[in-house]
């Protein structure tokens, strides 16, 4: 028979969960902690002790549920309430201007078109489902209609709230965003893997994807993943803010992290200026990006513009050119194949690639 729970214990558990969640937000979202690590650990230890004593009080939004679930044998599949579409790409200024002309022609009016400009993070797209403000499910994009259930792994990411806070929280909310690995965290992870004799990851995106697809969430919890919310999926709410950027502001009020580099552009020329400015700032950003996303800011205009089969007409990704680096040829060795054929192999000096130390692998077949 389960232990009866005194009212004072219930109140203390509620208080602990609120305090721990608030301190996590200050640490991971605001970068403004007011407790020492020791003080925080003491609060968390008290929470675990009380939940172990009264397991019937463990809830899905408890900070204790971020780590410790039983490993999965395989991922289940989840159907998205609204499709997770891809984006069309633009690689030149002319393609961006053509995108803007199509928007103007489809709207068939002289109304102002305002764009939300955002960095295109080089991470993994995910969908978070909140019911009554509590995180219930999380899934990968998959084929856009059906993705893999990664709920247990998503719970380990400290920046993602298990419980939304604030006013006017919808009964049901799907939040789309990007899970990524910050540059410094990527370097630390690879050093740790190398020291343990394990193969390091090639880039932060591969590291994020590999971490999210661990069947054991304890492994994912050891990876310093981060998250930015960037768009709205399904929602049960009539009074939506009228603009995409206002929705992002509402996300932030509910405790969801959003990218601080997001800006509003009132002309397509301002979008292109944002692109150039972010390209210059790219090496200094704490995360990897591979371009910029432009979205029509007005939700009413988005609705009128609609979609094609795989992408919205009201958004486009303006990709950066492929990064290049120059290195020095150290030596050329020759390998003898099974048939006796000689293959030259170049040994190249390591270079800094995208702001990260990178070793260019031997180049088989290079000719002097």
Q: Does the pLDDT of residue 366 top 60, yes or no?
A: no
- Taking residues 26-43, what's their average pLDDT? 73
What pLDDT score was predicted for residue 21?
A: 82
Question: How far apart (Å, rounded) are the C-alpha atoms in residues 319 and 119?
Answer: 10
Give the residues across from 124 on adjacent strands.
179
- Beta strands in the chain, from DSSP E residues, in sequence order: 77-79, 89-90, 115-121, 124-131, 134-140, 146-148, 172-180, 226-235, 263-265, 289-296, 315-319, 329-336, 342-348, 351-353, 356-358, 363-364
Contact criterion met (CB below 8 Å) for 212 and 179: yes
Alpha helix segments (H runs only) across 37-166: 37-53, 93-107, 151-154
Percent of the residues in the chain that have a pLDDT greater than 90, as a whole number:
48
Top pLDDT among 356 and 195 is at 195
Residue 5's DSSP bridge partners are none
Question: Is-catalytic flag, 120?
Answer: yes
45-54, 152-161, 169-178, 263-272 — which is least confidently predicted?
45-54
The radius of gyration of the chain's CA atoms, rounded to the nearest angstrom, is 24
* Backbone torsions φ then ψ of 275, nearest 5 degrees: -60, -50
Q: Which pLDDT value is given to residue 41? A: 76
Exactly one of 10, 93, 120, 218 is catalytic; which is it?
A: 120
* Predicted confidence (pLDDT) per residue in 10-20, tens digit: 899 989 988 88
pLDDT digit string, tens, across residues 114-139: 999 999 998 999 999 999 999 999 99
| Over residues 150-168, mean pLDDT | 92
pLDDT, greater one: 199 or 68: 199
């Amino acid at each position: 028979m389960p232990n009866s729970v005194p009212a004072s214990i219930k109140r203390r558990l509620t208080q602990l969960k609120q305090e721990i969640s608030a301190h996590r937000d200050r640490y991971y979202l605001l970068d403004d902690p007011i407790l020492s690590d020791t003080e925080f650990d003491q609060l968390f230890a008290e929470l675990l002790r009380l939940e172990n004593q009264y397991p019937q009080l463990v809830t899905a939004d408890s900070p204790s549920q971020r780590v410790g679930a039983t490993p999965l044998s395989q991922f289940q599949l989840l159907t998205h309430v609204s499709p997770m579409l891809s984006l069309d790409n633009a690689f030149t200024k002319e393609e961006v201007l053509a995108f803007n002309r199509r928007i103007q022609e489809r709207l068939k009016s002289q109304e102002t078109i305002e764009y939300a400009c955002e960095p295109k993070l080089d991470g993994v797209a995910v969908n978070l489902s909140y019911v009554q403000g509590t995180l219930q499910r999380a899934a990968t994009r998959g084929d856009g209609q059906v993705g893999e259930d990664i709920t247990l792994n998503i719970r380990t990411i400290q920046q993602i709230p298990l419980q939304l806070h604030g006013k006017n929280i919808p009964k049901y909310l799907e939040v789309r965003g990007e899970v990524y690995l910050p540059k410094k965290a990527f370097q630390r992870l690879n050093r740790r893997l190398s020291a343990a004799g394990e193969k390091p990851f090639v880039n932060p995106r591969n590291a994020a994807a590999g971490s999210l697809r661990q069947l054991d969430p304890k492994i994912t919890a050891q990876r310093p993943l981060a998250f930015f919310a960037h768009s709205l999926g399904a929602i049960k709410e009539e009074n939506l803010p009228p603009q995409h950027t206002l929705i992002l502001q509402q996300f932030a009020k509910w405790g969801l992290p959003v990218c601080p580099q997001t800006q509003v552009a009132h002309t397509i020329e301002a979008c292109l200026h944002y692109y150039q400015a972010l390209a210059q700032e790219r090496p200094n950003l704490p995360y990897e990006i591979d371009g910029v996303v432009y979205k029509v800011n007005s939700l009413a205009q988005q609705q009128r513009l609609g979609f094609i089969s795989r992408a919205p007409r009201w958004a486009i990704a303006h990709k950066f050119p492929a990064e290049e680096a120059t290195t020095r040829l150290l030596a050329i060795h020759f390998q003898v194949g099974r048939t006796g054929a000689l293959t030259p192999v170049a040994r190249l000096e390591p270079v800094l690639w995208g702001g990260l130390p990178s070793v260019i692998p031997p180049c088989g077949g290079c000719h002097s």
